[in-house]
Chains A and B, each alone.
Chain A
Amino acid sequence: MLPEPTFNSYLMLSAVLFSIGTAGVFLRRNIITLLLSVEVMLNAVNLTFVAADRYYHSVDGQIVVFFVMAVAAAEAAVGLAIVIALFRHRETLSPDAFTTLKW
Chain B
Amino acid sequence: MDSFIALDDVSVDFPIYNASGRSLKNQLMHAATGGRISTASGRVVVQALRNVSMRVEHGDRVGIVGHNGAGKTTLLRVLAGVYEPTSGRISVSGKVTALFDIGLGMDPDATGYENIVLRGSLLGMSRKEIQKIANEIGTFTELGEYLAMPMRTYSSGMGLRLAFAISTSVRPDILLLDEYFGVGDERFVEKAQKRLDELVESAGILVFASHSKELIRRLCNRIVIMESGNIVAIE
A and B are partners in one complex rather than unrelated chains:
no
Please list the residues of chain A having a beta carbon within 8 angstroms of any beta carbon in chain B: none
Please list the residues of chain B having a beta carbon within 8 angstroms of any beta carbon in chain A: none
